C-alpha cells in the first residue's frame, strides 16, 4: 500500500459556520473510487454491504428511521435521496450530523463526499478537525481496499492498528488535517498542536 497515494487521494476541507449558540465546524472529506455512484450508494446504505467494509449497522435504514452502529453511535435518519445523498444525526458523546453524497464521474467511477458537522466545543478546541477527519479517512481507506481486494484491512493486516504503516498513516493524515485547519482560518500554532494531540491519541503515544 502506497500511503502517500492513499492520503493524497482524499480532499480535505474544514467549513466554519456561525450558529445561534456559537460556531459549528464541518469536517469534509471527498474521495473518488473505482466504482459507479450507484454501487457506492449501496455500499453506504445496505446493511449487508456496510458490514463488509465498515461495521455492522442495524435499524430502520430509511428516512425518519433510526440506526445503531455496532459498539458506537446511534442516530436518526433525517433525509434520504437515493441514490444521491443521506443525512443522519450522529449521537455519540454529544450531538452532531453526518451527510454523505454520491456523485457519478462516469459509468465506472464515483465520488463520495462525507461531511461531519458538530458545534465548536472543548473537544474541538483540544483536538481540532483531525479527530473526526482521521476516523473517517480510515473508513474511506477501508472502502478503497475492499473495492480493490475484497479485504478492508490494509495489506490484509488483521493487526492494522498495531502496525508501523498505521502509525505512518495517522501521522500523515493528521498533518494534512492540521493544514486544512489553517486553510480554514485556524491559528497555525494552535492547529499544529491540536493535530499533534490527535495523532498521539490515535497512536497511543504521549506528547
Q: What pLDDT, in 10s, does the model give residues 175-192?
A: 999 999 999 999 999 999
Q: Which three cell numbers stand for residue 29?
A: 472529506
**Biggest CA-to-CA distance, the chain:** 47
Q: Is the model's pLDDT at 157 over the cut of 80?
A: no
pLDDT, mean of residues 130-159: 88
Q: What is the pTM of this model?
A: 0.93
Which bin fits 56, alpha (ψ -120 to 50), beta or left (φ > 0)?
beta
Angle between helix axes 164-183 and 130-149 (nearest 10 degrees) is: 130
Closest by Cα among 176, 198, 184, 180 to 125: 198
- In tens, the pLDDT along 38-96 reads 999 999 999 999 999 999 999 999 999 999 999 999 999 999 999 999 999 999 888 99
135 vs 93: CA distance, rounded Å? 15
Could you count the other beta carbons within 10 Å of the beta carbon of residue 139? Answer: 17
Q: How far is residue 181's CA from residue 191's CA, in Å, rounded to a whole number?
A: 6
- Nearest Cα to 173, choosing from 147, 143, 138? 138
* Alpha-carbon span 116 to 70, nearest angstrom: 19
22-33, strands of its sheet edge to edge = 11-19, 22-33, 110-119, 95-104, 85-91, 74-81, 66-69, 57-59
Amino acid at each position: 500500500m502506497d500511503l502517500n497515494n492513499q492520503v493524497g487521494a482524499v480532499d480535505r476541507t474544514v467549513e466554519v459556520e456561525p450558529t445561534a449558540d456559537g460556531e459549528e465546524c464541518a469536517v469534509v472529506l471527498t474521495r473518488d473510487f473505482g466504482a459507479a455512484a450507484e454501487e457506492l450508494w449501496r455500499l453506504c446504505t445496505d446493511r449487508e454491504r456496510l458490514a463488509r467494509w465498515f461495521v455492522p449497522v442495524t435499524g430502520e435504514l430509511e428516512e425518519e428511521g433510526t440506526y445503531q452502529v455496532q459498539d458506537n453511535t446511534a442516530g436518526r435518519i433525517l433525509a434520504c435521496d437515493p441514490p444521491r445523498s443521506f443525512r443522519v444525526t450522529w449521537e455519540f458523546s454529544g450531538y452532531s450530523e453526518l451527510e454523505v453524497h454520491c456523485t457519478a464521474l462516469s459509468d465506472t467511477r464515483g465520488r463520495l463526499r462525507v461531511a461531519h458537522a458538530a458545534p465548536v466545543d472543548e473537544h474541538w478546541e483540544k483536538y481540532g478537525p483531525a479527530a473526526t477527519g482521521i476516523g473517517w479517512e480510515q473508513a474511506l481507506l477501508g472502502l478503497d481496499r475492499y473495492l480493490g481486494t475484497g479485504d478492508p484491512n490494509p495489506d490484509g493486516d488483521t493487526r492494522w492498528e498495531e502496525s508501523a504503516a498505521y502509525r505512518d498513516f495517522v501521522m500523515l493524515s493528521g498533518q494534512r488535517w492540521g493544514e486544512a485547519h489553517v486553510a480554514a482560518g485556524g491559528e497555525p500554532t494552535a492547529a499544529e498542536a491540536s493535530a499533534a494531540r490527535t495523532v498521539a491519541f490515535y497512536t497511543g503515544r504521549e506528547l
